[in-house]
Amino acid sequence: MHPLDVDYVRSQFPALKSGSQVALNVADRIYEYLLNTNVQFGADYSVSVESTRRVMEEAPEAAKKLFNANHPDEIAFGASSTMHLENLARGMDNAIQEGDEFILTGEHEANVGPWKKLAARRGAVNLLSLIGPKTRILAFAACSNILGTVLPVKDIVKAARKTAKERGSKKLEICVDCVAYAPHRRIDVNDWDVDFCALSFYKVYGPHISALYIRSSSLRESVSSILHHFLDYHHKSYKLQPGGPGYELVYGTTAVLPYLLSLTPENDLNASFNAITDHEQKLIQPLLAFLTAPEQIDRGVRVVGEESSGVSRVPTISFVVVGRNAMRSREIVQTGIRYGHFYAFHIIDRLDPKVDVDDGVVRISLVHYNTVQEVERIIAILKEALA
């Protein structure tokens, strides 16, 4: 396997000094779109034709490859994953019946709140329990944005569908939140056998916009249009895009796939994500070693999530300081480090020992353009804060 060329990677992010996560080619495409094709699409004149091609064809095709979906019509664009899942839940009002059961695992609120509200509207039941004959929706995150743990999505889905079938469930649809997963591992909705999947492009070095995958069969059978009544997109994901997304941002997302492919000589997504994973493991090890050292344990430092590196862990590392010398998370943070609940309210609320949800955890998120030297600087900051 070819190692990641971190110098090349960093050269693609000219604004790194300001903390930007947007790749150079992403910004270039947004700029170029605004200058040359910033018109409404659907008209016959040449600029509109090119705008239509970029937004309605090129962008969904590129996103389809990131999800490994079957067709670009299965991809919707929108302002955020939170908005997407709210719109998806609204579009499923007619598909949910009183007494249906939802299993929600309670990670980021984006993949929890919309389903709770849908259950309340339709008389369904939201719970965390075993699959039964009335189970209709299963929603979970492929990777927790607090714990940093990568879940075996394919195994979970296979077991859930098998159990649902054995127990007489008429229809089970599965929604996976991949916002915290997408920067670190490759998504594969086909191999996973999921019905819905969301990612945020700003997490994968793109603009602040999101993409949602909706399986074709779910588009036809479960999801109703939330567009104006006179717009007919019955079999297309566009029916979940009321008002349409920001065209220049949609076009900007087309630069993400070429950037990821450029990371290894193979020009292959699997190879790129393997290189990312290998590099990120080198970043995780010294930070976890510091946080789990005996002197930090005695100090009251507790890592929230797995305490060791490995392929089942991404470099999103959260911790708290408890015990006789407890510290509030907000007292620890410095530049490049944040604290809070990060919209994973339920996870923070259930931590043991108990922590203030508003204060939350200290979270350090590393990505593949970080270096070991940057991790060492973070460790130095933490040593001073915890002294």
**Closest-CA residue to 312 (of 144, 118, 133):** 144
Domains and CATH numbers, the chain: 25-260 (3.40.640.10), 269-386 (3.90.1150.10)
* 252 close to 207: Cβ distance less than 8 angstroms: yes
C-beta neighbour count of 270 within 10 angstroms: 11
Q: Which residue has the tokens 């630069």?
A: 255
In whole angstroms, give the CA distance from residue 170 to residue 182: 31
Q: What is the dihedral of CA 273, 277, 279, 284, to 10 degrees?
A: 150
Helix residue spans in the chain (DSSP H): 6-11, 24-36, 46-52, 59-67, 81-91, 113-122, 153-166, 189-192, 216-221, 247-252, 256-261, 269-291, 294-299, 345-349, 372-386
**Closest-CA residue to 122 (of 146, 149, 98):** 98
pTM: 0.93
* Confidence at residue 201, expressed as pLDDT on a 0 to 100 scale: 97
Rg (CA), the chain: 22
CA distances from 147 to 32, 82, 142, 325, 327 (A): 39, 20, 11, 23, 20
In whole angstroms, give the CA distance from residue 143 to residue 305: 11
Tens-level pLDDT at each residue, the chain (387 residues):
788 999 999 999 887 866 567 899 999 999 999 999 999 888 999 999 999 999 999 999 999 999 999 999 999 999 999 999 999 999 999 999 999 999 999 899 999 999 999 999 999 998 767 899 999 999 999 999 999 999 999 999 999 999 999 999 999 999 999 999 999 999 999 999 999 999 999 999 999 999 999 999 999 999 999 998 887 777 789 899 998 789 999 999 999 999 999 999 999 999 999 999 999 999 999 999 999 999 999 999 999 999 988 889 999 999 999 998 899 999 998 656 899 999 999 999 988 888 899 999 999 999 998 999 999 999 999 999 998
* Confidence at residue 77, expressed as pLDDT on a 0 to 100 scale: 96
